[in-house]
Structure 1
Amino acid sequence: MRVSPTASGRHYGLVAFGALLLVWSLIGHDLWMLAYPFKSNLTLATDRSFRADLPWIGFVLILGGALTLLVWQAWRHTRRAAVEASARLALQRLIVDHASEAMMLTDSAQRILSVNAAFTAITGYAAEEVIGLTPTRLSAGHQGLTGHRNVWDFVAENAYWEGELWDRRKDGTLYPKQLRITAICEDGANISHYVAVFSDVSESKAQAQRLEYLARHDPLTNLPNRLALDAHLLMAIDGAVPGIDRMALLVIDLDNFKTVNDSLGHPAGDRLLAELARRIGAHMDPARRLFRLGGDEFVIFIEQMDSEEAVAALADGLIKLISESCDIDGHILHMTPSIGISLYPEDGRDGQALIRNADTAMYYAKAHGRANYQFFTEPMNAAATKRLHLESELWRALAENQLVLHYQPQVDLLSGKVVGVEALVRWRHPQRGLIGPSEFIPVAEECGLILPLGHWVLLTACRQVRSWLDQGVDMGEMAVNISAHQFRQPEFARSVRAILAETGVCAHRLELEITESTVMHGVDEAIRTLTELKDMGVKLAIDDFGTGYSSLAYLRRFPLDRLKIDRSFLADVDSDPDAASLLTSIVLLGRSLGLQLVAEGVENFAQAEFLRTLECERVQGFHFYQPASAEEVVGFGGFGLFAALPA
């Protein structure tokens, strides 16, 4: 058995002290016999013996003194070692008691010998309550006796165990702990003690669960996100039997949601998304789960589909539900969804295929009027591939100057003179020839190309005005269509000013055409932008008037110059009295607002004559001129037909 250094020092000190006591006893005895002899006749002999023994006695005295000094020093060192050992033990005990991890010492029979303060703090048991007990009795069963025996069997075989297990506190609550058990062998062979060190990992596990939740949920709506959707689809499809189990996936995208962000700000958009998520989520059940993919896109996954008719009914209900008005910060908003639907296993046997095909169907729904749903069909793949290819080519077209402007003259109907031109963008495709804007402008708006494209159109049109003026050709005003996204840019008015300054074109030669829906979203901001443009001297026109939902009260607030009547109102004026009456009302309305009227899409003599009787100021259309290149438009009728404006 191993003996402590302090105990050994004390043992050897006692032996040395006994030896010293024996030496001094012998010296004392000799001195006593010399001082008090027993017989007088021995005195002389004793005197002689004493004198003879004097050197030996001196040596013994010196040796005894040295030995005494050594014993004294040994005693002092032993005493100091004992004090230092006690101090070290006290320090070690202090460190153990202040450790953040709980520590427990047991004997070889697993009876608890000592615990530290952290043990009491974590388990709730005081030291006196557990001394002599076994850890298995304290845990009271959550792991089960078998679990604890497996742990201790592993320790017996490997001299350690480390892992996580659940335990029970004194108050009965369960908690997870990270535990490490180490066996101690004092003689190097047989286990004499066990040391268990553990910590409460409740908080770290809760934090991990919070991080896991955040990783799989959208913070705005608290809905599961794309990561959670992927995992759910994988689990559902792995457990499905093709041909027996049928499932459906719906991708829901809000129509024109970006307008809300642009006009009311992102906080209002976030509140709208949260409200719609709440509405839709209230109609979900265990068989139908709602996810948010991001932005304004949601997904509903139906794990047990009854029939396609039931899915269609759900989509109809969602359109009605989402279309109900929302009061956001005092603004009554109406949103509509476009919904794409894919079915398992017909449209895909894995989650990614289902999402991709439902997304394709959703874009197909948007292309067919929005506010509707479409089931995925295989021809949609070809259309989606074509659109993706067109998007890629469109980026290349802008970079390689494949886009060109054509110009359609606007005619003063009373004088017959050309008073301006409208710039119309065309795409001169290397293989497909000239492509009209109706085919690629929607793609440009969806892929984010509309901003650089719109800037290019405005800059190119103003450069063309400058070029004509330098040639001595006055084409009047240049009308340019402005997209909603372009108009809502905070720096739009400043960019117009910069283009005018760069090209040297006077502001009164530029007319910007903006649709009703553009100015009616975020009216106050639209008025500020229009006023800034008007202060520059730029002419302003509402394009496609009559097709939107503009309010007359707002129209009076907008600093406009013209209303441009949409071509749809001219179609039957020569044969339909109602159409003629409607067109007359629009012209009178514009005149009452103090605005000039421009009719577009005039295609025959009857339409032109009807507009002439209404004294509509300007017209444009195929009846007069078709859009043409800059060189061709100058040759239409010679320069004398153009009404000159101040340079």
Structure 2
Amino acid sequence: MFEKLKEDFGAFTSFFFMMPQLTTRSLAIDTLRVSEAKYRSLFENIDQSVIYLDATGIVMAVNHAAEHLLGLPRDVIIGRKFVDSCFQAIKEDGSVFPEEQQPSMLALRTGKPVEGVVMGLFNSERQNYFWVVVNSVPEFRAGERQPHQVLMTLTDITLQKQSEGKLSMASVIFNNIGEGIFVTDKDKKIISVNEAFTTITGFTQQEVYGKNAHFLHSKKNSIKIDDELSNLTGTVNSWQGEVWRRHKNTMDFPSWTTVSEVKDSSGEVAHYVHVFMDITHFKKAQDHLGFLAYHDPLTRLPNRLLLKDRIDHSLQNALREGSQAAVLFLDLDRFKGINDTYGHAVGDGLLREVAKRIKNLVRKEDTVSRYAGDEFVVFMENIPDAKNPAKLAQKLIETFNAPVYIKGYRLKISTSVGISLFPQDGRDTDTLIKNADAAMYRAKKEGRNNFQYYSLELTTEAFEKMSMEYALRQSIERHELILYYQPQVCLKTGKLVGVESLVRWMHPELGLMSPKQFIYIAEESGFIVALGEWVLQNACMQMRRWLDEGLQVNKMVVNVSAIQFLRSDFIATVERILRSTGLEPSSLELELTGNGFMDNSEQTIKALNQLVALGIDLTIDDFGVGCFSFNNLKRIPVKKLKINSSFVVDVLNNANDEDIARAVIALGHGLHLRVIAMGIESTAQQRRLMDLGCDEGQGHLYSSPVLPWSNVFRTLISE
């Protein structure tokens, strides 16, 4: 700094007080003589603030620049110690600058220049501090070792310090702000991150430095920030929006992000600043509010608004596809009495339990809604037939037969259900709900704890079917099921080759019923599993008795429904029954009925092969009627095909039926399978089937289905 002063002064280094030297490095002032007036002019007009102090620190001279900088007239400054005129001096850390440590006093005490010291001085006029860089150079007289004065220059750096302060403040904010910040260069490569960035994402500066900002983007994003930034214009230099970001150790998270361009002096983008915050909790709150807008807060079921939206949408699909749908309107019987007696807390608990029981009974695609108070609505889309909702209605009624325990109270409730169907009972949501509500009120008038269709005719049919299903479920316990047996014979020899077991139901009111009258109910209700097991168990027991009597029966033939077979425990059930009856597997033949066997999945093939491995023969029943494909025949290890009786009854008079019988027989023989025809009633039919190559037969020609102790039957077995 002192060198700069020398340049400004040029060759004039003498002072009007006739000091011997300006610096320890200057030439002796005695060799330079200039006019005092010219030097004073230079001293006063130089831009550099200059102050001279004597050996005690008293100000001797101040130029105009120093006077202006200090904000004090020179007559206040001259003749006093420098610090006294300025009141106070501070260090950069804000502490008071002791007088003995100030640059001028150190230069006087040590005799050495003290340069580049930053000081804060109080400006009395502005009542604030300004910042200067101080250089103090001691001056000596010839032959003296102690300086007799000191030259002090002051350079104003207030604006620089303010800029540094702003940068320091920006740095403090950058590192202490709660939002995550990362800065990229113009190529979108990360060059800096703050502490919040690491806290929020789990990534450190070292882990992301130099990587493209896209590294932090989640695959869940539907937008690309790069595309958004490319659309910025000169008047808009930032973008903000929701961005999913990666986390180092946990799941991706949503963030609200602002990206701003930072341009250089030429107007070109130099950096991008990304500021973001984790909005996971906000999103959860938002989702919760959205949930509450469409759901009942007590039961968490869809409310009326969401129910209407779902029904509206489903009915549009139903109209296009020509499918049916149903609305079930439920009202709890005498709920108000429970609420009034036990209080609202118990009533609320009961409603939650009701919602839970309903949800446990419906299909995944069905919608359950708490419509209002103790009213619930179930919407069933794409139902197979108009009577199907009755099954669900009955299950809903039955589920409340079990008591409900709420807060120590044992509550017994029931429900009344009304059913409306689309499209016959209404073609829009409001009409369907209104009509189901009307049907529910009719159910209440009928004594509560029942269901009613909007159509009286359907209600009657549904109740009849429900009554039949209920009675069928009791048939095993009440010993109402009976097995009849029908022989199967070799067409060439007339000898017995097997006996098929055929179940009958002695209904307590309707009398003896054939399988056609109740098997479909058993299959729809799932009772076919228990019924099939009962038939298999009793047929094997009868076969064991016949064998123990010495009767010549080769095979016991038992029908197996696909529903029964596809249960995971079916093979184990067969093995258990064979062991319990002591019957050899080779004495058992299973007839596979139903289209469920058309599935040639590996699981099905494996199960069928397990049965064959046990020694059990397999027959495909009603071949030519169902959907059994030829390809399945190559994979399923069956030994026999059975021609349906519908092709046998007209085999003599209908060329098509004869052709079908001929094709089935040819196909079976081509695959090395035996073929049996059922429904043979005349010797003419028998001869025609023999001519076509059929191997075995079954029908009234040989014997109608009879009880095991029938004389006709036992005679046939004995022959």
TM-score (norm 1): 0.47
Give the greater-gyration-radius structure (CA): 2
